Amino acid sequence: MTTPHAPSADDIRAVSPALARYTSENLTADVWARPGLAVRDRCLVTVAALIARSQTMIQRHCIENALDHGVTPAELSEIVTHLAFYTGWGSAMAAVAPLKAVFEERGVGNAALPPASPALLPLDEAAEARRAAAVEANLGEVAPGVVKYTTELLFNDLWLRPGLVPRDRSLTTISALAATGQVAQITFHLNRAMDNGLSKEEASEVFTHLAFYVGWPAVMSALPVVKEVFAARG
């Protein structure tokens, strides 16, 4: 397995002094320091966006940065697992090498990782029944396999794993949706994120942060949906 390293400041400067300046003065010193979203949360958002896009080049650096700012190995382990379902197995597999390299470097062993089959968080059975009924009515005949796994693997298993709290699982999900241009799914997941405790100010700041990591157009396409969600919640 290869584990590419991020370009250094000197590497960046060798191709673009301007990009080096934007990186240090604007992205690192300004955006990352903005109030409204904790640095730890910015790490979750960034790692999720990079894994979602299979951008392995700077994953290792961002994983190290996440560990330095309070994201635990257990949480990183859950994020990769979560994104296997939300951005595809290939992107999760591509993240294994960088994450394994950092875990080895820092002596993170299996005892620090969530077990394969932990005791799950309690299920909100009424909300889940409503969700399952809506999806079954809409897609039950078209794709019974998708409906079955959505219930069994996603909402009755993955989302109930305790290694990543629901609010952070939502943060991971909406970052991945923005990163992959899946704007239509943002309505459901941003509402869920806010139900799970993400404030409006934090949500707004997530998209400000993401503008730099997934590019302006992807965020500009997502913001009308964010606006609708904010308006509907009052």
Of residues 8-67, which lie at the interface with a copy of itself (CB under 8 A)? 11-23, 26-27, 31, 34, 36, 49-50, 53-55, 57-58
Site membership for a copy of itself, residue 99 (CB under 8 A): yes
Distance in Å, CB of 86 to a copy of itself, minimum: 5
Q: Three-state DSSP class for 186?
A: helix
| Closer to a copy of itself by Cβ: residue 171 or 213 | 213
| Closer to a copy of itself by Cβ: residue 13 or 40 | 13
Contacts 24+ apart (CB under 8 A), 1-10: 1/96, 1/97, 1/100, 1/101, 2/97, 3/56, 3/60, 3/97, 3/98, 3/100, 3/101, 4/56, 4/57, 4/60, 4/98, 5/60, 5/61, 6/57, 6/58, 6/60, 6/61, 7/57
Q: Site for a copy of itself (CB under 8 A): which residue of 125, 184, 232, 234?
A: 184
Distance from C-alpha of 122 to C-alpha of 127, rounded to nearest angstrom:
12
Q: What is the DSSP letter of 113?
A: S
Q: Site for a copy of itself (CB under 8 A): which residue of 90, 106, 133, 134?
A: 90
User: CB-based contacts of 37: which residues, under 8 Å, 6+ apart?
Assistant: 45, 201, 202, 205, 206, 209
Q: Site for a copy of itself (CB under 8 A): which residue of 32, 39, 84, 196?
A: 84
Number of residues in contact with a copy of itself under rule CB under 8 A: 102
Distance in Å, CB of 40 to a copy of itself, minimum: 18
Contact 3, 97 (CB under 8 A): yes
Q: Site for a copy of itself (CB under 8 A): which residue of 45, 86, 193, 194?
A: 86
Ranges within 208-227 binding a copy of itself (CB under 8 A): 208, 211-221, 223, 226-227
| Closer to a copy of itself by Cβ: residue 56 or 196 | 56
Contact segment (CB under 8 A) with a copy of itself among 64-72, 87-95, 124-132, 190-198 equals 87-95
Which token pair is 139? Answer: 């897609």
| Closer to a copy of itself by Cβ: residue 196 or 208 | 208
Distance from C-alpha of 230 to C-alpha of 234, rounded to nearest angstrom:
6
Ranges within 114-143 binding a copy of itself (CB under 8 A): 114-117, 138-139, 141-143
CA distances from 145 to 34, 89, 138 (A): 44, 17, 13
